[in-house]
A and B are shown apart, each in its own frame.
Chain A
């Protein structure tokens, strides 16, 4: 019985301690805040503004924010932030299809990160530049020129593994691409950026599975991608995953129709005419006779618009701008 009374006496003690601590929180003096560089703060805010704008595909707004972030970083003389701002500017120029400006910015990142011995940022910029060159058909690098560690778990940050995997996929190295994508999918973390990257990694795996005619796996990978997209709100990637599922001959016609219709609605909301066209073509393949007429009419109208846009772009190439 003695131990019982002894242990019970601890409880009031605990309560007293808690009250004492509570009372300590009541006094009013405070210590002044530590000094900090306001330009570094401005740069960080502009970067966050740019990322928010980028998430909503407001490219020009993002470009303005990243540009202001660069100026603020230079005023703060923060070499880490300067490299980061150049990289963000390069990415936004890539998204805006301004490859000249993007290339200049990527090369600047490579130069600065080499100077300041930041191998992670250097690799990040190198891969992003290679991906852009690959899309433009002027890539001279091969996968052998990149270190094997890009496809080994835990060596690099997730975005670098993802870029390496996408590059490997585009350069017809599916085994490496799969390794890279798998690393991203098992990376731990809850940030929105990581969730988006996981969604993209599953999408990459789905595309590769479809190319290998492993339609069930492709469906399942696309479904996982959709789960990430729904949790963070990534409409363009959602549309891509739905389009891919709609194109797979593994499900019922009505299910595929539903997926394609949803993809079409998202592409329409995003004013993505190429996505709309792909969705309409696939919808036409599986639609009933009574639905065909309206879909065909819509596709023709869309092709007319696309044709005019192509003509305009050819006649005035200087005015060609994305979004």
Chain B
């Protein structure tokens, strides 16, 4: 009986020893693989915003993971300071002149931090050194993205100014019609009474249609939050009648051109917002706000396009033709 018990005890002992040994081996293997006990050194960097970073975020060197973000602090002066734990064995590969930047492998996916090798003719970076941070988006790329937005904004403002000028021009169709009405009301004849009645009937009918539009589609409410300049232009547009739409093809060109420019500006701002996301939190915020108001303006303009003012008129050019690269013809004589 005693022998049996001691045999069981021996077996249990071996089982426990082997089990614990396996656990120790697994822990050792994991720690060796994850470099928990490897020597590390600290580096610091200060991005303009900590928005794109988090503790434990991997740091890469030439595509290899060599460390992680240890701590993120907001300093007393309002600047951000991020400390990075980097494996000591990679230190000889990093020299003075190294920079830290955010990279993204494709158009989508998580951003990772990369540290560059620096100038190999310079000494190796030191423990606790501050490494300069640079934005991943190149200046050229940012300029390329911002430029169309600025150009579109300029074109848009130009179009708005042109439309305002046209509306206020004493020679414009609107002014001429108002003047004609004034003249008619002072010296009416049997012939022009009918003409006048027609004008006003049409005008009132159109105004009723527009009022209904405003009530049903809450265009008026949207106007208030749209860009100030546009609201003013749209306020000027309201009293226009179908008569003017028929007589003034200029207005259609202006509206079509406006719609096109608003579309372009909206799209450009979208890209600018995403590309500038890592620079400062304020800039893309502004871009987003502008875009939201532009979206409302787009909606209003489209409603106007479909309403009595310019209904049944030619639509802007097909989107495809605006987005096509011009053919390469090589016309050199």
Contacts and interface: CB of A to CB of B under 8 A. Distances in A.
Contact of B200 (A10, A92, A94): A10
B107 interface: yes
A35 B301 CA distance: 18
A263 B232 CA distance: 46
B323 A21 contact: no
B328 A200 contact: no
Given A3-B188, A68-B107, A193 B200 contact: no
Interface string A15-28: 00110111011111
B292 interface: yes
Interface in B97-114: 106-108
Interface string A191-204: 10100110010011
B52 interface: no
A240 B264 contact: no
Interface in B183-209: 185, 188, 193, 196-197, 200, 203-204, 207
B204 A128 contact: no
Interface stretch (A155-163, A250-258, A289-297, A313-321): A155-163
Interface residues of A, number: 85
Contact of A191 (B181, B268, B317, B329): B317
Given A10-B200, A189-B317, A203 B107 contact: no
A7 B267 contact: no
B327 interface: yes
A47 interface: yes
Given A45-B268, A52-B147, A128 B321 contact: no
A213 interface: no
Contacts of B317: 189, 191
B174 to A, nearest CB: 13
A25 B224 contact: yes
Contacts of B271: 41-42, 45-46
B331 interface: yes
B321 A28 contact: no
Contacts of B295: 33
Contacts of A247: 333
Contact of A131 (B222, B268, B328): B328
Contacts of A88: 323-325
A166 B317 CA distance: 24
B107 to A, nearest CB: 5
Contacts, number: 193
B148 A45 contact: yes
Interface in B304-327: 317, 320-327
A55 B268 CA distance: 18
B9 interface: no
Contact of A52 (B148, B185, B188, B197): B148
Interface in A260-290: 274-275, 278
Contact of A7 (B145, B197, B238, B320): B197
B220 A26 contact: yes
Contact of B224 (A7, A28, A41, A237): A28
A95 interface: yes
The SS class assigned to the B binding surface is helix
Contacts of A168: none
Contacts of A48: 148, 264, 267-268, 323
Contacts of A203: 331
A101 to B, nearest CB: 14
Contact of A87 (B223, B266, B324): B324
A62 B140 CA distance: 12
B301 to A, nearest CB: 14
B224 A26 contact: yes
B239 interface: yes
A11 B148 CA distance: 45
A285 to B, nearest CB: 15
A8 interface: yes
Given A3-B188, A28-B224, A65 B144 contact: yes
Nearest to A89: B325
A148 interface: no
Contacts of B188: 3-4, 7
Nearest to B203: A14
A242 to B, nearest CB: 10
A44 B325 CA distance: 13
A118 B147 CA distance: 33
Given A17-B204, A53-B144, A75-B108, A162 B221 contact: no
Contacts of B144: 49, 53, 61, 65
A131 B214 contact: no
A274 B185 contact: no
Contacts of B196: 7
Given A29-B221, A72-B107, A91 B327 contact: yes
B270 interface: yes
Given A45-B145, A189-B317, 10 more contacts: A11-B181, A18-B239, A28-B224, A50-B325, A53-B144, A131-B327, A159-B324, A166-B329, A197-B326, A200-B329
Interface of A: 3-4, 7-8, 10-11, 13-14, 17-18, 20-22, 24-31, 33-34, 38, 41-42, 44-54, 61-62, 65-66, 68, 71-72, 75, 80, 84, 87-88, 91-92, 94-95, 120-121, 124, 127-128, 131-132, 135, 157, 159, 162-163, 166, 189-191, 193, 196-197, 200, 203-204, 207, 210, 237, 240, 243-244, 247, 274-275, 278
14 contacts: A10-B204, A22-B235, A22-B238, A24-B211, A30-B221, A30-B225, A44-B267, A45-B270, A51-B323, A52-B148, A84-B324, A124-B324, A200-B329, A243-B332
Interface of B: 106-108, 140, 144-145, 147-148, 151, 181, 185, 188, 193, 196-197, 200, 203-204, 207, 210-211, 214, 218-225, 231, 234-235, 238-239, 253, 264, 266-268, 270-271, 274, 292, 295-296, 299, 317, 320-333
